[in-house]
Amino acid sequence: SLHDALPICIAVWIALKVADRLVKPVNELVDAARQITAGDLSARVPSPQARDEIGILSNAFNRMAQRLEAQTGALMTANSQLENRRAFIEAILSGVSAGVLAVDHDRTIRMANDSARRILTAGDADVADRNLRDVSRDLNGLIDERIPAEIVQIRVGTELRTLAVKIAPDRSGHVLTFDDITQQLADQRRAAWSDVARRIAHEIKNPLTPIQLAAERLQRRYAKEVT
């Protein structure tokens, strides 16, 4: 009868309300966790009113999400600053005539400017992420021998190039700077030979002058007697 069913309906309604009150915070927590997993770090659980276990868990979740969002933002900012700094350094090094290489402890080339590529390769081949041993055994040998500065000859294709190299260790590996002084040495050799030739010509000319004068005097004196 209606009189008997009314208490049952009221009990069911109360049970549903209680269940909804218990399940809703859990559903909100699950939804927020799914949003965090999908990459939305701004997701939060609505501030719980109750001080029960679900409320404590929700507050802890919100604190965790807030900290995660802050740390991720700081990490993205740091990565952006590092990328900007790297681009700035590469822009500066692109206009430097000296070759610059940065290698890690495994001798993998992490950074090379345009001059380094031109000096170490027959063309403008990219040397980044290659091992220094494969690019130049001579430069790699200087690191092995812990020589901070040296003049070395390397073979690039069929051409010999003379490099003035400096090596500086750092926390991540080594930084190598080098100048191609092949043409400079050739100019110095030509200048040296030119000076030698000038000195030889001077030394030859000095005794030739009195010989020429003596010959001219003999010619004037004995020209009529010598047939």
User: Are the C-beta atoms of 112 and 104 separated by less than 8 Å?
Assistant: no
Indicate the pTM of the whole model: 0.50
**206-220: average pLDDT:** 78
The pLDDT tens digits of the residues spanning 62-100 come to 888 889 888 888 888 888 888 877 776 766 666 678 888
Q: What is the CA 53 to chain-centroid distance, rounded?
A: 51
Q: Distance between CA atoms of 26 and 141, rounded to whole angstroms?
A: 64
Per-residue tokens: 59: 């507050």
